[in-house]
Amino acid sequence: MTCSDVERVLPELLDGAPDGEFQTAFETHVKSCPACSDLVSDLKVIASEARQLAATEEPAPRVWVRIAAELRAEGLIREPESAPKSAPTRPILVPTSPRRRWSAWWLAPVAAALLAAGSYVVSHKPAPQVAKQQAPGTPAASPAPAPPAVAQTPAVAPASVPNPAPQQLAQKSATPTAIVGLTAAPAAEPEPSEEDQQFLSVVSTRAPSMRATYESQLQAVNADIREAQAYLDRNPGDADARQHLMDAYQQKALLYQIALDRIQ
């Protein structure tokens, strides 16, 4: 057997079943030919080292956040029945590290709750520190949809968004003269939720010149949320509408985060 022959049969013999016809000649040649011996040895090392590469990389925490949000949006996550007393075990969750501290500390969990709102209920989960797990080179303040403060405190989002009668929708305040609604009669702006009132109160105290801006933006995103929610209520199977509702919550979370970055 020549070196060329070795090359030709290598694909079959290297990690396949021994082939009686060529096996002996192959082994004899390899033993006596340093170049072919090196080749065979190198290819085996490459193959064995490659196996070590499986499962070595870790995805960013935002991947789970997105999966969970989508599962909730699709109704695949359902609240469990009250835990039976006889069940001794509960699933353990991923170990986490302390959340970042902000002087307007309550904005962080509200921003997180908003992001997952409508699809993600959390109880007693300490927060993962996403910032440390971001890829090198990416800025710490990553934009939505993966904010740092995911899953920090119980979500309040469904209750935090005013729920008007489904027929009265979407008073737009971002474009003051534009009134968008699915019925002919525009609705009065609902009362801000408690979280939104607290938010505006803090803004008034710490950045009074920005209050009007934040308030108008808050009204706009809340209107988008109401509009999307109302449409989804009437069309529960519409996946795109569900995604737009998620996006609207993410916009609100973005608003809170931008404020959070400013008000410290």
Partner 1 sequence: MESLQQTTVVTLVLATCLASAAFAETKKEYRFTVGPNANVSVDTQYGAISVKPGSGNQVIVTATLKSDKVEVDQRQNGNRVEVASHLLQGADQQTGQVDYEVLIPPDATLNLRSSTGPLTAERLQGDLSLEGTDAVVNVRDVTSGHVHVRTMRGPITLTDVRNGHVELASISGDVHLKSVTGPLVQASSGSGKIFYDGDFGSGGDYKFTTHTGDIEALVPANVSADFSAHSVLGRVQHDFPLQQPQHSRFSVEAGRSFFGTVGKAASEVVLRSFSGKIRLKQR
Partner 2 sequence: MTDPKQRITEAEAIEQAKQGHEAAFEVLYHLHKRRVYSLCLRMVSNPVQAEDLAQEAFLQLFRKIGTFRGESAFSTWLHRMTVNVVLMQLRKKGLPVVSLEETLEADDEAPRKEFGAKDVRLTGSIDRLQLQRAIDRLPPGYRTIFVLHDVEGFEHNEIAGIVGCSIGNSKSQLHKARLKLRDYLKFMRAEKAKTG
Counting contacts by CB under 8 A, is residue 21 touching partner 2? Answer: no
By the rule CB under 8 A, 180 interacts with partner 2: no
- 118 contacts 158 by C-beta, under 8 angstroms: yes
Is residue 215 part of the contact set for partner 1 (CB under 8 A)?
no
Report the nearest approach of partner 2 to the CB of residue 73 (Å): 11
Distances (CA, A) of 4 to 29, 33, 42, 97, 226: 11, 12, 17, 58, 72
How many Å is the Cα radius of gyration of the chain? 29
Q: DSSP per residue over 157-208, as a string?
A: HHHHS----TTS-----SSTT----SSSSPPPPPPPPHHHHHHHHHHHHH-G
Mark residues 26-55: x for contact with partner 2 by CB under 8 A, - for none: ---------xx-xx-xxx-xxx-xxxxxxx
- Residues within window 154-183 making contact with partner 1, judged by CB under 8 A: 172, 174-175, 180
Neighbours of 108 (CB within 10 A): 23
Task: Give yes or no for residue 94 binding partner 2 (CB under 8 A).
Answer: yes
Total residues binding partner 2 (CB under 8 A): 59
Residues 19, 29: Cα–Cα separation, whole Å: 15
If one asks whether residue 23 binds partner 2 (CB under 8 A), the answer comes out as: no
Query: Looking at 24, 213, 233, 236, which residue binds partner 1 (CB under 8 A)?
Result: 213
Judged by CB under 8 A, which stretch of 18-26, 111-119, 136-144, 186-194 contacts partner 1?
A: 136-144
Reading the block at residue 41, the tokens are 């040895």
Q: For binding to partner 1 (CB under 8 A), which residues are involved? A: 137-144, 172, 174-175, 180, 209-210, 213-214, 217, 220-221, 224, 227-228, 231, 238, 240-241, 243-244, 247-248, 250-251, 254-255, 257-258, 261-262
